[in-house]
Amino acid sequence: MWQFQVTGEPVPKARARVYRGRAVTPARTKNYERSVAVEALAAGVPRFDKQEPLCVHICAVWSRPQRLQRLKEPDDRIPKATRPDGDNVAKAVLDGLQRHFDDGQVVRLTVEKFYASRHEEPSISCTIELA
C-alpha cells in the first residue's frame, strides 16, 4: 500500500479549451497534476505493470467556508455535497499519476469530499493498493 498527500485546495480536472484547433489543458489543472506527480514520486509510488489491477482511494478536503464557522457547527470534517464533482477531482489525481500506472488499471475507485475540521488545512490524500 502506498500513500501520499498533496497540501492545498483540491483542484478538479478542468475541461480542455480549444485554441486555433489545438486542445489546451488550463494551467491550474496542469500545475495540480504536476504536484500530484511530485508527491507520489516522493512517497515512493512505483511504476506498476500494465496488467496489475489497482484500488485507489482519494479523500479531498476543502477549506471550511465562513457559513460553517459558527459555534453550533461540528468541529469534525463536514461532508461536501456541492461542486466540484468527485469524478473531476479523481480525474485530476489519476492524470497526475499517469507515469505510475494507466487509469484503466483501477478496478476500485473511491472518492470522498469534505470540508476541513476546524484546525485542518485543505489537502488531498491518496491511497493506492494492489487489488
What is residue 69's predicted lDDT score, i.e. its pLDDT?
85
Give the mean model confidence (pLDDT) for residues 35-57.
96
Residue-wise pLDDT for 66-118, tens only, equals: 888 888 888 899 999 999 999 999 999 999 999 999 999 999 999 999 999 98
Residue 106 C-alpha cell reads as: 483501477
Distance CA(94)–CA(70), nearest Å, equals: 35
On average, the pLDDT of the chain sits at: 94
Alpha carbon of 59 to those of 3, 50, 128: distances in Å? Answer: 11, 25, 12
What is residue 98's predicted lDDT score, i.e. its pLDDT?
94
Higher pLDDT, 36 or 15: 36
Distance CA(81)–CA(93), nearest Å, equals: 19
> Pairing between strand 54-62 and 106-115?
parallel
What is residue 48's predicted lDDT score, i.e. its pLDDT?
95
What is residue 73's predicted lDDT score, i.e. its pLDDT?
83
Architecture per CATH, domain 2-130, reads as 2-Layer Sandwich (3.30)
CB atoms within 10 A of CB 127: 14
